[in-house]
Amino acid sequence: MSAELLKTPLHALHLELGAKMVEFGGYDMPVNYPGGIIAEHRHCRESAALFDVSHMGQLRLVGDDAAKALETLVPVDVIDLAVGKQRYAFFTNANGGILDDLMITRRSNDLFVVVNAACKEADTRHLVTHIGHRCNIVPLPDRALLALQGPKAVTALARLSPEVTALTFMTGGSFIINGVECFVTRSGYTGEDGFEISVPAEASVALAKALLSQPEVKPAGLGARDTLRLEAGLCLYGHDINETTTPVEAGLTWAIQKVRRPGGARAGHYPGAAAIEGQLATGPTMKRVGLLGLERVPVREGAPLVDAQGRKLGHVTSGTLAPTVNQPIAMAYLAANHALPSHEVYAEVRNKRQPMRVTPLPFAPHRYHRG
């Protein structure tokens, strides 16, 4: 007997909108609406799409020591994060592997943290176990999270709250939207400009309906969220990154600020620091790369990658036929000596070799609003 799936506060609205529902991170979630994944993907790239991401974990870290404490669990600069600024981070284990990736926003009286749905219980335990004596870890199960993404997201949201236009990429603040106080960050998971809106659960359906009534906005599900983030070259936890991949192998070293690297004022002192610093110095043996399919055959997660002689070089972690790029794309881990721009490798798909070319990420250019 499988455990009962959890539901977000918008569950009934998804059914009302005709969503096809699937299990994701322990939740019953919309994979797409009647228009289909490709239409939702294109609408997000051209206009504005509304995603329910209430399955994600939202937490507050409260106390004077919160930033210093959190730095003992992530290789990221939290202490110098200014009020209203947001930063991408990851929890690491003793081997330098990634336990989860997360978003941290500094607010005047706390740190607001968003973690992945499937990891939120483990992440909360991790925080309580390691830094619970230094700050209060406060889960926020009574809040929903909506992501409004696309070039016209700002137009639609500004009708309900004109002040949000002041935000730039990776900043956040509190705003009254549809008569309710919400915490909004200008961020997202699509490569487009957009917002993530933390709203009290009881006000979330009314807010979603108010946003969907804007002419630019249509609902989008997890299917389009996946193809959009893959085109944007963004990692999905449990697929492109996990507890056996390090931030260096994953190409996420841009998120490790100078102050936390060897020679920096607060270098090390996080789990797996020795392994990560060793790879920073010598380079990893495997690297995450982008791959473009040279034939029209989609290459899926798990496909082995080989050279012309059939020697194994790595494996695909995410793949799709990309609607914007209009070619098969994939992200993969590849032996570092083959992870070179324009280098050709072969993906094995149903006992056939499909040629693929190493290509820079992202596949579709990011269009964040940097101000």
88 within domain boundaries: no
Q: Are residues 152 and 295 in the same domain?
A: no
CB atoms within 10 A of CB 12: 11
Check whether 140 has a pLDDT greater than 90: yes
Q: What is the pLDDT of residues 162-189, one digit of tens each?
A: 999 999 999 999 999 999 999 999 999 9
Q: What is the CATH number of the domain that holds 161?
A: 3.30.1360.120
Determine, yes or no, domain membership for 130.
no
- Calculate mean pLDDT across residues 340-366: 96
- Residue 371: predicted pLDDT: 85
* Statement to judge: residues 31 and 162 lie in one domain: yes
Query: Same structural domain for residues 200 and 296?
Result: no
Q: Which of 211, 201, 202 is nearest to 160 (CA)?
A: 211
* Domain C-terminal end among 231, 250, 270: 231
pLDDT of the residue at 123: 98
- Mean pLDDT, to the nearest integer, of 124-149? 98
Mean pLDDT value across residues 137-152: 98
pTM of model > 0.95? yes
- Please, which residues bridge with residue 9 across strands? none
Give the per-residue pLDDT at 1: 40
- Is 75 part of any domain? no
217 and 328, same domain (yes or no): no
pLDDT digits (tens, 9 = 90+) for 325-349: 999 999 999 999 999 999 999 999 9
Q: Express each pLDDT in 70-94 by its tens digit.
A: 999 999 999 999 999 999 999 999 9
Q: Which two tokens stand for residue 361?
A: 């990420």
For 43, residues 6+ apart whose C-beta sits below 8 A from its C-beta are 35, 49, 150, 218, 220
Split into its structural domains, the chain has a count of 2
Tell whether 113 is covered by a domain: no
Q: Cβ(193)–Cβ(369) under 8 Å? A: yes
- Average pLDDT of the chain is 97
Co-location of 193 and 47 in the same domain: yes
pLDDT digits (tens, 9 = 90+) for 303-316: 999 999 999 999 99
Query: At which of 192, 208, 231 does a domain end?
Result: 231
In which domain, by residue range, is 224 found? 11-54+142-231
Q: Is residue 61 part of a domain?
A: no
pLDDT at 99: 98
The answer to whether position 352 is within a domain reads yes
Whole-angstrom Cα distance, residue 319 to residue 308? 21
Q: Is residue 129 part of a domain?
A: no
Residue 149 in domain: yes
Q: Which of 218, 236, 237, 230 is nearest to 19 (CA)?
A: 218
